[in-house]
Chain A
Amino acid sequence: MHDHLLSLLIWLPIASGVVVLLLGDRNIVAGRWFALAASLATLALCVPLVLGFSSHTAAMQFVQKAAWIPRFHAHYGLGVDGISMPLVVLTAFMTVPVIIAGWQVITNRPAQYFAAFLIMEGLMNGVFSATDALLFYFFWEAMLIPMFLIIGIWGGPRRVYATIKFFLYTFLGSVFMLAALIYLYLKAGSYSIAAFQALPLTLVEQRWIFAAFLLAFAVKVPMWPVHTWLPDAHVEAPTGGSVILAAIMLKMGGYGFLRFSLPIVPDACRQLDGLMITLSLIAIIYIGFVALVQQDMKKLIAYSSIAHMGIVTLGVFLVYAIVASSGTTLDAGMGLDGAMVQMVSHGLISGALFLCVGVLYDRMHSRQIADYGGVVNTMPIFAGFMVLFALANTGLPGTSGFVGEFLVILASFKASFWYAALAALTLILAAGYTLWLVKRVVFGPIGNDHVAQLTDLNGREFLILGVLAVAVLLLGVWPEPLLKVMEPSIQHLVTQAAATKIPV
């Protein structure tokens, strides 16, 4: 069981997706229940994954390795460490609310809708658990297909523009990564990521490879200035698509930096960390201001996601500045810890916020902030949830949003006062745009007749928002288990990142 657990986490959802597809729209009642059962079963598979995970080692666990393309030394290699395991669990966890959220809402080709999300889930788990670079790339790119269809079929009025932009943008970023991976393979003689990490590389090589990785991961995160696909994709995507995009797909960029950039090209990272920190700070501050002026709720949350992912990339690339200023690697893990917690937490919070917008959109068919006002009067329970997630988004202590941001800002303080001063602006800006959103949408007098006729959450909506609220609070008051699981892997990563790979 343990040997095949990760395989099951990948292929069970994919196979279930195919079954749902075959059941078709005619048997959609059975199809929906089957999809829900499959997503719950996948989540249940995470239980042995978490329980069987040892937090005393940085090594890959639940390892599976089989020959895939022997001639090119590519393996079907799977395994998780403290960095990828939480992301696999997050993926399995977030897919369930997405399935439930589409329950009655999706009437156009529902079988394909549920199938697409299940297949996505499997592919995303594949990305996080691949230990072979070629397998990683295989899942990384394959994932574009269901997302392309999800935005294009169930999206809003400008869905075609948004989905083609999304596909081409990410495809463009990824192909250079593929070129870099092949180059690394020819040097290392194997596609194993561990072999890449052990491979000595000159600084020139490292810089080129860093650039190729940066293109792929920066587009995915997305970092300023290659973020422009995200607001379009989010606005046009159906609720479920937005949730998966924000909660999981953006994390792949951050994960890529942690798994590929830092350990494979550490010297280039050390040399270019100033650039990365600058880009992250621009994302945090400039995009924060951009979020302030948005008229569309989804667009606002999309920009807020970019700003919050700026915190993640900042945390990742603080390592070198901390080592340089403190002289030891002891504290360097703090930024990475913060980045990881921020990724998980942002997955929950942004997912929840998009679900909240989805709840409103299903009733009013508008995402314009101006069309709302005083929702609390007609939807008090919903308002409670929305305010909670909004506060979590601003980083209120007691919610998961606080832990990640606090750790990263603390770490940036160790690196440089100015980094901390600028990064801390996120607290003010996030409070600004999020609370202003809540004020205009939720509070105040009832805005118009449509708002007056709103009905509060039904049981299905209450269930998904409730579960997410519990998760956000739990991670906020008790992040210890997550930090403990990550600890050895983060320490190992710090050693890798601080080492030099330039051959002497």
Chain B
Amino acid sequence: MPDSMMNLHTLAAALPEMYLAAAFCVVLLFEAFVGERRPGATGTLTLLLLVIGAGLTVQFADVTQRMVLFDGSYVADPLAYVLKLAGFLTVAVGLLYSRAYLQDRDILKGEYYALSLSALLGIFVLISANSLLTVYLGVELLALSVYAMVAFDRESARAAEAAMKYFVLGSIASGMLLYGMSIVYGLTGTLSLDGIAVALNAPHNLGVILGLTFIVVAVAFKMGAVPFHMWLPDVYDGAPTSVTLFVGTAPKIGYFALALRLLAHGLAGVTVDWAGMLVPLAVLTLIVGNVVAIAQTNIKRMLAYSTIAHVGFIVLGFASGTADGYSAALYYTLVYVLMALGFFGVVILASRKGFEAEKLEHYKGLYRRDPLLALAMAMLMFSTAGVPPFVGFWAKLRIIQALWETQHLWLVVIAVLTSVVGAFYYLRVVKLMYFDEPPESLPETVRSFGVRFALGVNAAAVLVLGILPAPLLDLCARLIH
């Protein structure tokens, strides 16, 4: 199908983005006219809009083959379709978990929801990016929305500091990305990733390596790979927990897409070069993330370092430089997002008005106080540690398998060793919840049925996908091959 043929059918493929842009406006207007009088109504509307969006996507944007639109700057393929559905779902569940939290802290504002939607739009643009400009557009839209979300609680100095750090460091990374892109553009004369993929086919070219270095640094920064991870613990820790939940989940899908579209697709001809750069990054990320997480006493910081450790695994998937590695990274990303939704959800549900359950000791004896919450958290912790029968095990298995296929013996050894180190601090959370007695006087956990039910489904999904992993594994493999 030629690019120029703009008919309804091709436009439908871009429906998720168009719908989301419209929904963003609707939410802003709704907040301006209704939201002031009825706090919370905007949140309900946003959830509804997200569900409708997912429905419309299934109905109209279910592409069966790769389609390139808008003069080659946009791509719609089955992978984009699945990732966008995952994005809708992730943001919807995240907002559902956050509602009571926002209300208790007087930040239940329409703008919060509008920013979530614009961040999601940024993620979608990244997912479907097929030219350097679209990539950059997506990166910035996502980043700017998230900076604002981190600073959303105006009263909190910590949040403002975190947002400032994130903004300054993020801007440097964006600059790096632009600089690298401009070098690649200079070498190839095209912005289209398809065009670059054709033009750049000889590895070990000094100019390409220079451009790649900047691009890899920017991607590593966005994903949170060591040594470009400094922002991540501060942002996770300083931001309101609902924002941490947001930052820790949906954008991971976007940054996976960033690495896939930009590196694995656009720069496929020089895979050897960038995969070689990713290997030391991944090793450092695994070691630093897992080791530093042990020393944390704040659960949000601990989970931040744990995120870094998981990013190490995802980067390893890319470092293998094969389609199987990318599909392993995709699987890992989706599984990680599912688990992160769950454990940040638990942190949110354990917090109440005027009380942030962010110290590890706040989880002492959680079993006595709230058995269901503790059970969900225990399942999620075992899953993130990579212990069967939970789904986290398969994610690690897929990465190790991809590394074996490419004969990366030492990477296999480092991956399995660091996951043993990681098991320690996840077990510590279980230990606190199950083996210790609860301290006196902690506020009761959130008891609202709907949220708890959603969290229960989330935790159950970790178990069910662990016992029957075939469908999701299969899907991820099909989407990449």
Taking Cβ atoms with an 8 Å cutoff, the residues of A that contact B are 67-72, 137-139, 141-142, 144-145, 148-149, 152-153, 159-160, 163-164, 167-168, 171-172, 175-176, 178-179, 182-183, 185-186
By beta carbon, the residue of chain B nearest A183 is B404
B427 close to A167 (CB less than 8 A):
yes
CB distance from A82 to the nearest CB of B (A): 28
Q: How far is the CA of A167 from the CA of B416 in the complex (A)?
A: 15
18 A-B residue pairs with CB within 8 Å: A67-B470, A69-B470, A71-B477, A72-B473, A138-B388, A145-B387, A148-B427, A152-B430, A153-B435, A160-B431, A160-B435, A163-B431, A164-B428, A167-B423, A167-B427, A168-B424, A176-B416, A182-B401
Residues facing A in B387-420 (CB within 8 A) are 387-389, 393, 397, 400-401, 404-405, 412-413, 416-417, 419-420
Q: How far is the CA of A179 from the CA of B413 in the complex (A)?
A: 8
Q: Does B434 contact A (CB under 8 A)?
A: yes
A178 close to B397 (CB less than 8 A):
yes
Which of A67, A142, A160 is B387 in contact with, Cβ under 8 Å?
A: A142
Q: How far is the CA of A142 from the CA of B401 in the complex (A)?
A: 20
By beta carbon, the residue of chain B nearest A67 is B470
Q: Does B474 contact A (CB under 8 A)?
A: yes
Q: How far is the CA of A178 from the CA of B400 in the complex (A)?
A: 9
Q: How far is the CA of A319 from the CA of B431 in the complex (A)?
A: 44
Q: How far is the CA of A145 from the CA of B386 in the complex (A)?
A: 12
Taking Cβ atoms with an 8 Å cutoff, the residues of B that contact A are 382, 387-389, 393, 397, 400-401, 404-405, 412-413, 416-417, 419-420, 423-424, 427-428, 430-431, 434-435, 469-470, 473-474, 477
Q: How far is the CA of A176 from the CA of B412 in the complex (A)?
A: 9
B420 close to A182 (CB less than 8 A):
no
By beta carbon, the residue of chain B nearest A167 is B427
A138 close to B389 (CB less than 8 A):
yes
Select the residue from A141, A185, A186 with max chain B CB neighbours within 10 A.
A141
A168 close to B423 (CB less than 8 A):
yes
Which of B388, B416, B428 is A141 in contact with, Cβ under 8 Å?
A: B388
A182 close to B469 (CB less than 8 A):
no
Q: How far is the CA of A70 from the CA of B423 in the complex (A)?
A: 29
Q: Give 5 closest A-B pairs by Cβ, nearest first.
A: A175-B416, A69-B470, A138-B388, A152-B435, A172-B420
Q: Report B-chain residues with C-beta under 8 Å of the C-beta of A141.
A: 387-388, 393
CB distance from A146 to the nearest CB of B (A): 11
With known contacts A164-B431, A168-B424, A186–B405 Cβ distance under 8 A: yes
Q: How far is the CA of A69 from the CA of B428 in the complex (A)?
A: 32
CB distance from A151 to the nearest CB of B (A): 9
Q: Report A-chain residues with C-beta under 8 Å of the C-beta of B470.
A: 67-71
Q: How far is the CA of A171 from the CA of B419 in the complex (A)?
A: 9
Q: Report A-chain residues with C-beta under 8 Å of the C-beta of B401.
A: 72, 182, 185-186
A182 close to B400 (CB less than 8 A):
yes
Q: Report A-chain residues with C-beta under 8 Å of the C-beta of B424.
A: 164, 168
B420 close to A168 (CB less than 8 A):
yes
CB distance from B142 to the nearest CB of A (A): 32
Q: Report B-chain residues with C-beta under 8 Å of the C-beta of A71.
A: 470, 473-474, 477
Q: Report B-chain residues with C-beta under 8 Å of the C-beta of A172.
A: 417, 420
Q: How far is the CA of A183 from the CA of B413 in the complex (A)?
A: 12
Q: How far is the CA of A145 from the CA of B430 in the complex (A)?
A: 11
With known contacts A138-B388, A142-B388, A182–B404 Cβ distance under 8 A: yes
Q: Apart from A142-B388, A153-B434, what 12 extra A-B contacts exist at CB < 8 Å?
A: A67-B470, A69-B470, A70-B474, A71-B473, A72-B401, A141-B388, A149-B434, A164-B424, A179-B404, A179-B416, A182-B404, A183-B404
By beta carbon, the residue of chain B nearest A175 is B416
A179 close to B423 (CB less than 8 A):
no
By beta carbon, the residue of chain B nearest A151 is B435
By beta carbon, the residue of chain B nearest A140 is B388
Q: How far is the CA of A149 from the CA of B424 in the complex (A)?
A: 14
By beta carbon, the residue of chain A nearest B401 is A182
Q: Report B-chain residues with C-beta under 8 Å of the C-beta of A152.
A: 430-431, 434-435
Q: Report A-chain residues with C-beta under 8 Å of the C-beta of B412.
A: 179
CB distance from A35 to the nearest CB of B (A): 19
CB distance from B236 to the nearest CB of A (A): 25
By beta carbon, the residue of chain B nearest A21 is B375
Q: How far is the CA of A179 from the CA of B417 in the complex (A)?
A: 11
Q: Report A-chain residues with C-beta under 8 Å of the C-beta of B413.
A: 179
With known contacts A145-B387, A179-B400, A159–B416 Cβ distance under 8 A: no
With known contacts A160-B435, A175-B419, A176-B416, A186–B404 Cβ distance under 8 A: yes
B420 close to A175 (CB less than 8 A):
yes
Q: How far is the CA of A464 from the CA of B474 in the complex (A)?
A: 49
By beta carbon, the residue of chain A nearest B477 is A71
Q: Report B-chain residues with C-beta under 8 Å of the C-beta of A68.
A: 470
Q: Report B-chain residues with C-beta under 8 Å of the C-beta of A137.
A: 388
Q: Report B-chain residues with C-beta under 8 Å of the C-beta of A164.
A: 424, 427-428, 431
With known contacts A168-B424, A175-B416, A183-B404, A142–B389 Cβ distance under 8 A: yes
CB distance from B56 to the nearest CB of A (A): 31
Q: How far is the CA of A69 from the CA of B434 in the complex (A)?
A: 34
